[in-house]
Every structure is written in C-alpha cells, then in structure tokens.
Amino acid sequence: MAKITMTVNGRQVSGSCDDRTLLVHFIRENLGLTGTHVGCDTTQCGACVVHMDGQSVKSCSILAVQAAGSSITTIEGLAANGELHPVQAAFKAHHGLQCGFCTPGMVMTAVDIIRRHGSGLDEATVRAELEGNICRCTGYHNIVQAVLAAAAGMGGARQAAE
C-alpha cells in the first residue's frame, strides 16, 4: 500500500491505495468524488478527464501514485461560490448533453481546449480537439456549439484556467 498526498480541487488530501490503483479509482473511491466517470479503462472514451497540474489527462491512464504531489482538478472543482463555470453554463445553455455520462470529461476537456486556444477557436479545431472524447447520444453538434460559446464568452485563455 502506498500513502499519497495531492491537492484535489484546492484541498490537500491524503490516502492509502495499492500501487496499481488508477487515479480515477482513487478519486472516486478514496475521495468520494464521483463526477469523474469510468467509461472504458482504456483511454478511449474521455469520461475520466481531469486536470493534473493544469493539463488535461485521462485519469484511467495514470496511477494514483504518479499523481502524488500534483494538483488535480475534477468536475466538482470547476464551479465556484455556487456559480457554474462558464463552460458548464454553456453546456447547459446549448444543450450539450443528453444522458450526461460523458459530460464531465467533455467539460474538463473543453476547459483545457479554451485554455490552450483562447477565444479564437473555430468548429474544426474544437472537433479535432474533442476526438479523444466519445459521446454516444448527441452527435457532437451541441457540444461543439457549447465550447465555441464558452470560448467567446470567456474572452480567451487566461480566464479559462481554473
């Protein structure tokens, strides 16, 4: 068993886990943060996307011990003071979800896309950047529209960072 400490959503947390425990399972089972979903365990679907040290990562591809000492942001860490993050609000306003299973990973990926590309995003870039995230319900049109609206409303990359 490994004893690890990391910062999750701005709060320092510690826990014990097997050396082989994936970060997604540590987040869900040890910390009780179930917004990060387990979809495939093979990095195919993107439902498990979190931010580690400011970078978008698929938490099913990283061991929890590899994240020790890192700063992790999950979907639960985006909203502030009872207000949805602008990307969450855009997904709601533009109906960028149906069943909601992929939504946390899509939102986390979108925040990272906007952080890296700013408000100058176009549809082709958003579609290319979302390639690693699978939605089986929406056909992506409303997801892309939500990302574009959020980018335009946030005024660029500087505000996109958590």
Q: Which of 45, 105, 99 is nearest to 75 (CA)?
A: 105
Specify the CATH class of 2-77 in words: alpha beta
Please provide the CATH number assigned to the domain covering 86-157: 1.10.150.120
As a whole-number percent, the residues of the chain with pLDDT over 90 amount to 86
- pLDDT in the model for residue 48: 97
Q: What is the pTM of this model?
A: 0.92
The residue type at 88: Q
Is the pLDDT reported for residue 158 higher than 60? no
Instruction: Determine the straight-line distance between the first and last CA of the chain, rounded to whole angstroms.
Output: 31
At 94-127, the pLDDT tens digits run 999 889 999 999 999 999 999 999 877 999 999 9
Q: Rounded CA gap, 150 and 41, in Å? A: 29
Parse the chain into domains and list their residue ranges. Answer: 2-77, 86-157
Three-state DSSP state, 19: coil
